[in-house]
Chain A
Amino acid sequence: MASHLQRKLFALVGVAALALTATACKGGNTDTGAKDKLDTPECAAFTDYKGIAGKTVTVYSPIRDADGKLMEDAWKAWADCTGVTVKYEGSAEFEAQIKVRVDGNRAPDVTLIPQPGLLESFAKAGKLKPVGDKTKAMAEKNFTKDWLKYGTVDGKLYGAPLGSNVKSFVWYSPKMFKDNGWTVPTTWAELITLSDKIAGEGKLKPWCAGIGSGDATGWPATDWIEDIVLRDQGPDVYDKWVAHSIPFNGPEITSATDRAGSILKNAAYVNGGYGDVKSIATTTFQDGGLPIVQGKCALHRQASFYANQWPKGTKVAEDGDVFAFYFPAIDPAKGKPVLGGGEFTAAFTDRPEVQAFQTYLASEHYANTRAKTGNWVSANKGLELANVSNPIDKKSVQILQDPATVFRFDGSDLMPATVGAGTFWKGMTDWITGKSTKETLDFIENSWPK
């Protein structure tokens, strides 16, 4: 019996060892005699990227699953033509893992980082390399100062902007609006009038929201506050608030938070399809707007990427089942404030192939190729609207390229992580479940690192 078991054990070890050798052989021949295909006609667009064939670039980001695949498809032509192998990895645990990898000496070559605050901390710690001259020229050509600012640390550009999203959207059902004779509001006053009207009719509650998101619960509510600070107080106060040169519990933010509360904590307005005000905290962000398609809620403020959350078969278009309108400004004379987010291409190494890849991602060629694969928005000025296929992405690009737009990056991604990814989220969750505005803002102000 014993020898029988031993033999089995040895067999298993043997199999494992065999598997090991087999796979080792598979991976052995990476950079011998690799050639680019830049002289072929289909590679004509990439002739600037010579001499890097046979090299490998590793890329790590939180973009994963379907979105990750679309992105890999978009840069595949570049990789095939230049002969560079791009190894992509997307992870749900990006924010925590990237720190572990950098500290553990296993940083990727390139990271697509959605938090300028995180980018800044890596840059200040000397981990990131500033972008090369070519990347810098490309980024400056294709992106506005508003955007470049967020990838710049101490005067040096570390991250070239890549994708973007627009958060200042209110989702609604064009069909429901038509059936009831409601019109899309274009000013704040109209928005409130419409909400009162819907609430008054008593058939459904006008607003629905959900801020649950695992250990990031609360972030959708922080977007609300940011969007309203931009509208209630303007971009200058917004910048000061994010940089903490005005206190979190000062009169400006208190006024904006109360204005957000006039919708989010108004029992007559929320929470369509789910219940009372408190149910906002227990509804996940993914489910927050779904009552719209069931006819139980009329309005849902959420970013352009919420388009992916609708059940299969829902038509997202101006004449479809759901669509979004721009979250209106309070004083249109002060411009068109837009809250949004996006990723930046930053690198931990500065090998030529890594910089070439960074340059390509900042180019208009990549922006248009990526737009054609679908489901993507960018503030890249070279992006042609005709290449953007779905209506909500088109609308986002229009807003981003509109000269009247005053763009501001999601503030919680710019604040120190203890606040922006910690007490701000928690504070807003407590605010929804019953804490007063003053208590909430005092709590967040006191948590700001000194």
Chain B
Amino acid sequence: MSSEGRVRKRLTSRTASLVAIVIAVLWTTPTFGLLISSFRPELEIKTNGWWNFFGDPQVTMANYEEVLLNQGLLSYFINSLVITIPSVLFPVAFSAMAAYALAWTRFRGRDWIFIGIFALQIVPLQMALIPMLQMLSPVQEALIWPYPTATVWLAHTCFALPLGIFLLHNFISELPGDVIEAARVDGASHARIFRQVVLPLIVPALASFGIFQFLWVWNDLLVGLVFAGGGPDNAPLTVRLAEMAGSRGQEWQRLTAGAFVSIVVPLIVFLSLQRYFVRGLLAGSVKG
């Protein structure tokens, strides 16, 4: 029996399933509690725990009404999309090209460059915030674009590249060399090989990195706050959510419903792309 088969068998045994179910329940309980809370009246939320709901069920839509109708979430929702879509496409495109170059073109110091990029993952994002802001301030002024959104794209792209290049490099370097050799013998340039041979083969990896990046950018507060600011023109949904509790946190019951509103988009993205996700994760790692 191959090692893959053994792993598969062990992971599908009854005990393993039971453990998985227990973990899943434990993991979901807080989210479930939040969901229950989001339908409870304000005073109940603030004075006792969500499990009291089962003894004394009081259902209200007040939290959702408040969040959706009175808090102007729509414009922040659009801001989040405007920030997230390019911040996913840019790093996916750049890291795919960089990963191809590092895996299949030969030049001096190639491995050192790769190690350098890989090592950059260790640098905490927080350390780079102020220097990045200083660097990007003149960039923003030079652009005709009057909003700082472009700098948010740049910032997210920069922070995503090390991991993206690393992930895609592993994937691309696993591609069979024969295929690429054959294309080269037929006279294809690197650009053409990348476009017509490599890209179609790495779609699952691109998708899984894309999902990672999407979830990260959509849920990001720090980068958005620092580079986009908090105004209704630019700020993403997370920034609005953080403010929604009020100056002194007195309205925190709104966060319960707000959290669920902001979860909707990542859920749709994840569920609709999950088959790529699983394939992308497995394809690079499991060998026969």
Q: Residues on A close to B: CB < 8 A?
A: 1-2, 5-6, 9, 12-13, 16, 19-20, 23-24, 27-28, 30, 62-68, 87-93, 97, 100-101, 103-106, 213, 284-287, 290, 294, 305, 308-309, 311-312
Q: Which 10 A-B pairs have the closest CB atoms?
A: A104-B133, A2-B200, A27-B146, A311-B43, A89-B230, A64-B243, A65-B246, A67-B247, A308-B250, A105-B137
Contact B144 A12 (CB under 8 A): no
Choose among A63, A311, A312 the residue with the greatest number of B CB atoms under 10 Å from its CB. A311
Contact A100 B133 (CB under 8 A): yes
Asked, given contacts A104-B137, A308-B246, whether A13 binds B42 with beta carbons under 8 Å apart, the answer is: no
Docked complex Cα distance between A20 and B251 (Å): 35
Contacts of B130 in A (CB 8 A): 100, 103-104
CB-defined A-B contacts under 8 Å, sample of 30: A2-B200, A6-B199, A16-B85, A23-B82, A27-B146, A27-B233, A30-B146, A62-B247, A65-B243, A65-B244, A65-B251, A87-B231, A89-B230, A90-B247, A91-B243, A92-B245, A100-B226, A101-B133, A103-B130, A104-B129, A104-B130, A104-B134, A105-B133, A106-B133, A286-B250, A287-B46, A287-B47, A290-B46, A305-B248, A308-B250
Contacts of B86 in A (CB 8 A): 16
**How big is chain B's contact interface, by range?**
35 or more
The smallest beta-carbon distance between B203 and chain A, in angstroms, is 6
- CB-based nearest B residue for A89: B230
Contact B85 A90 (CB under 8 A): no
Digit string of B220-241 for contact with A (CB within 8 Å is 1, else 0)? Answer: 0000011001110100000100
Digit string of B244-261 for contact with A (CB within 8 Å is 1, else 0)? Answer: 111111111000000000
Contact B245 A93 (CB under 8 A): no
Digit string of B106-123 for contact with A (CB within 8 Å is 1, else 0)? Answer: 000000000000000000
- Asked if B27 CB lies within 8 Å of chain A CBs, one says no
Asked, given contacts A12-B85, A311-B42, whether A294 binds B246 with beta carbons under 8 Å apart, the answer is: no
Contacts of A311 in B (CB 8 A): 42-43, 46
Q: State which of A2, A9, A65 has its C-beta within 8 Å of the C-beta of B247.
A: A65
The smallest beta-carbon distance between B114 and chain A, in angstroms, is 26
Contacts of B242 in A (CB 8 A): 91-93
Choose among B43, B46, B129, B247 the residue with the greatest number of A CB atoms under 10 Å from its CB. B247
The smallest beta-carbon distance between A90 and chain B, in angstroms, is 6
Docked complex Cα distance between A94 and B183 (Å): 56
- CB-based nearest A residue for B138: A105
- CB-based nearest A residue for B235: A89
- Asked if B54 CB lies within 8 Å of chain A CBs, one says no
Contacts of A287 in B (CB 8 A): 46-47
- Scan residues 153-170 of chain B and give those whose CB is less than 8 A from a CB of chain A: none
Docked complex Cα distance between A6 and B42 (Å): 49
Contacts of B137 in A (CB 8 A): 104-106
- Asked if B101 CB lies within 8 Å of chain A CBs, one says no
Contact A89 B229 (CB under 8 A): yes
Contacts of B250 in A (CB 8 A): 286, 308-309
Contacts of B85 in A (CB 8 A): 12, 16
Contact B82 A294 (CB under 8 A): no
- CB-based nearest B residue for A108: B229
The smallest beta-carbon distance between A378 and chain B, in angstroms, is 16
Docked complex Cα distance between A285 and B147 (Å): 37
Contacts of A290 in B (CB 8 A): 46-47
Contact B203 A23 (CB under 8 A): no
- Asked if B281 CB lies within 8 Å of chain A CBs, one says no
The smallest beta-carbon distance between B239 and chain A, in angstroms, is 8
- CB-based nearest B residue for A313: B43
The smallest beta-carbon distance between B204 and chain A, in angstroms, is 11
Digit string of B185-212 for contact with A (CB within 8 Å is 1, else 0)? Answer: 0000000000010011001000000000
Contacts of A312 in B (CB 8 A): 42
Docked complex Cα distance between A105 and B134 (Å): 6
- CB-based nearest B residue for A5: B203
- CB-based nearest A residue for B244: A65
The smallest beta-carbon distance between B137 and chain A, in angstroms, is 5
Contact A63 B89 (CB under 8 A): no
Contacts of B239 in A (CB 8 A): 91
- CB-based nearest B residue for A286: B249
Given contacts A65-B246, A309-B248, 18 further A-B contacts (CB under 8 A): A6-B199, A9-B89, A24-B146, A27-B147, A27-B233, A28-B144, A89-B229, A89-B231, A90-B230, A91-B239, A91-B243, A104-B134, A104-B137, A105-B137, A287-B46, A308-B246, A309-B250, A311-B46
